């Protein structure tokens, strides 16, 4: 799938789900094509650009809460819904919970969080901090053991604590464990590091995820800003201008052009960057030849 075919009806549904059109600048409100992807296990559609909260929201103070409120407003205004956090991202869950409560935003968002162990007390802590009983996606964070069981996560899903379960890793040394657990336990999602200059996931995780019909969230889509540093002072190549208006969109659209990717979750504490990243939901995606060109470009940096 190169250029997403999004019907007006799909756009209306997605925009309605987040109440987005009411907040959108007129130019965006008139743009019909918003890239959503189906979650393989249910078919529920998710806007394909979300927000990561590691580092950026990890201190629970007024400055951070204001920053988080501005970034979440930009996410919703630009048609986004997915927010990824974790019980171990400092105070990020608490900041998110407070901002969601103050703005009555919970129903407009798809909340993904992570636990490092299937521990009921940890789950309760996340629910309390997020000020929500129901987690959309509950992930087993940093899976390292190939024998790791998702039984407790599945029980929680059956009890209605969460709607989806997933596993995560950003350590290539742990990819064999991720493959083992993914193949055996068949969670709804796998979250993995994947960026234009970190393509290990293409070789092993993405094919398996497609085979077992798991959704894929790409952590570290900018390699913790490594990609921005690599292109500092450079212009976007002319051959990419048809699909990217910024480096952020260039890097994200490389990932989104792979239909196995359900959503990218770039981290940002800057509402302008959030809006920029959401630009990757619109317009054409690079075709396979352009993707090869992007890889060659990145490899030469
Ligand atoms: N599962 C795991 O084990 C795991 C591990 C790590 C991360 N993650 C997930 O992946 C998410 C993303 O990771 P990350 O935030 O560490 O790295 P990242 O998304 O690869 O990069 C974030 C960096 O890019 C900058 N940035 C974002 N948008 C930009 C734009 N449009 N223009 C210029 N700069 C931009 C941000 O700075 P500004 O704040 O200035 O925008 C920040 O410095 C995390 O938040 C987390 O949800 C998961």
Q: For every one of its 301 residues, what pLDDT tens digit does the chain have, with 9 covering 90 and above?
A: 333 333 333 333 333 333 333 344 444 445 458 999 999 999 999 999 999 999 899 999 999 999 999 999 999 999 999 999 999 999 999 999 999 999 999 999 999 999 999 999 999 999 999 999 999 999 999 999 999 999 999 999 999 999 999 999 999 999 999 999 999 999 999 999 999 999 999 998 999 999 999 999 999 999 999 999 999 999 999 999 999 999 999 999 999 999 999 999 999 999 999 999 999 999 999 999 999 999 999 999 9
**Which residue has a Cα nearest atom 44 of ligand 1?**
52
In angstroms, what is the span from residue 151 Cα to ligand 1's centroid? Answer: 30
| 276 in contact with ligand 1, CB cutoff 6 A | yes
Atom of ligand 1 nearest to the CA of 266: 19
- Give the range of the structural domain holding residue 162, as residue numbers without chain letter: 41-299
| 55 in contact with ligand 1, CB cutoff 6 A | yes
Cβ neighbors of 49 (< 8 A, separation 6 or more) are 35, 80, 82, 252, 256, 263, 264, 266, 277, 278, 280, 281
Look at residue 32 and tell me if it is in a domain: no
Look at residue 31 and tell me if it is in a domain: no
Look at residue 35 and tell me if it is in a domain: no
What residues are paired with 112 via a beta bridge?
A: 84, 137
- Report the number of distinct structural domains present in the chain: 1
Cβ neighbors of 253 (< 8 A, separation 6 or more) are 243, 244, 280, 285, 286
pLDDT at 237: 96
Atom of ligand 1 nearest to the CA of 270: 41
226/228 Cα distance (integer angstroms): 6
Provide the token pair at 281.
């939901």
**Which residue has a Cα nearest atom 43 of ligand 1?**
225
Contact between 182 and 211 (Cβ < 8 Å): no
Integer-rounded Cα radius of gyration of the chain? 18
Atom of ligand 1 nearest to the CA of 86: 47
Q: What is the dihedral of CA 82, 87, 90, 93, to 10 degrees?
A: 50
Q: Among 75, 223, 225, 264, which is best to mutate for testing ligand 1, by the most ligand atoms less than 8 A from CB?
A: 225
Domain CATH code at residue 109:
3.20.20.100
Contact between 150 and 185 (Cβ < 8 Å): yes
List b or e across 271-298, with b for residues whose CB sees 16 or more CB atoms inside 10 angstroms. Answer: bebbbbbbbbbbbebbeeebbeebeebb
Q: Rounded to two decimals, what is the model's pTM?
A: 0.90
Look at residue 8 and tell me if it is in a domain: no
252/281 Cα distance (integer angstroms): 9
| 196 in contact with ligand 1, CB cutoff 6 A | no
Look at residue 267 and tell me if it is in a domain: yes
Q: Determine the 3-state secondary structure of 176 from DSSP.
A: helix
273/25 Cα distance (integer angstroms): 16
Q: Determine the 3-state secondary structure of 241 from DSSP.
A: coil
| 37 in contact with ligand 1, CB cutoff 6 A | no
Look at residue 13 and tell me if it is in a domain: no
Look at residue 143 and tell me if it is in a domain: yes
What residues are paired with 113 via a beta bridge?
A: 138
Look at residue 34 and tell me if it is in a domain: no
What residues are paired with 139 via a beta bridge?
A: 114, 166
Neighbours of 116 (CB within 10 A): 15
In angstroms, what is the span from residue 225 Cα to ligand 1's centroid? Answer: 7
For 267, which DSSP code?
B
**Which residue has a Cα nearest atom 15 of ligand 1?**
267
65/102 Cα distance (integer angstroms): 10
């Amino acid at each position: 799938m190169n250029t997403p075919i999004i019907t007006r009806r799909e756009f209306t549904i997605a925009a309605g789900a987040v109440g987005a059109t009411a907040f959108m600048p007129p130019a965006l409100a008139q743009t019909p094509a918003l890239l959503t992807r189906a979650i393989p296990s249910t078919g529920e559609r998710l806007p394909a650009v979300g927000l990561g909260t590691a580092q950026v929201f990890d201190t629970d103070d007024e400055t951070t809460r204001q920053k988080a409120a501005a970034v979440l407003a930009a996410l919703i205004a630009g048609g986004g819904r997915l927010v990824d956090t974790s019980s171990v991202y400092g105070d990020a869950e608490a900041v998110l919970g407070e901002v969601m409560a103050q703005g009555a935003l919970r129903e407009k968002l798809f909340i993904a969080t992570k636990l490092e162990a299937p521990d009921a007390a940890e789950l309760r802590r996340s629910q309390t901090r997020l000020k929500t009983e129901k987690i959309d996606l509950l992930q087993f964070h940093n899976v390292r053991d190939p024998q790791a069981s998702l039984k407790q996560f599945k029980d929680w899903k059956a009890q209605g604590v969460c709607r989806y379960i997933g596993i995560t890793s950003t350590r290539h040394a742990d990819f064999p464990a991720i493959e083992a657990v993914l193949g055996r336990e068949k969670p709804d999602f796998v979250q993995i590091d994947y960026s234009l200059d970190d393509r290990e996931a293409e070789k092993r995780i993405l094919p398996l995820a497609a085979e077992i019909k798991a959704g894929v969230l790409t952590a570290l889509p900018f390699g913790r800003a490594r990609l921005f540093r690599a292109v500092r002072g450079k212009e976007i190549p002319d051959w990419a201008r048809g699909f990217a208006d910024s480096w952020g969109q260039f890097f994200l659209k490389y990932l989104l052009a792979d239909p196995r990717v359900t959503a990218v979750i770039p981290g940002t504490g800057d509402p302008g960057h959030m809006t920029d990243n959401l630009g990757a939901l619109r317009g054409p995606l690079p075709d396979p030849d352009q993707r090869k060109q992007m890889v060659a470009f990145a490899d030469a940096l």
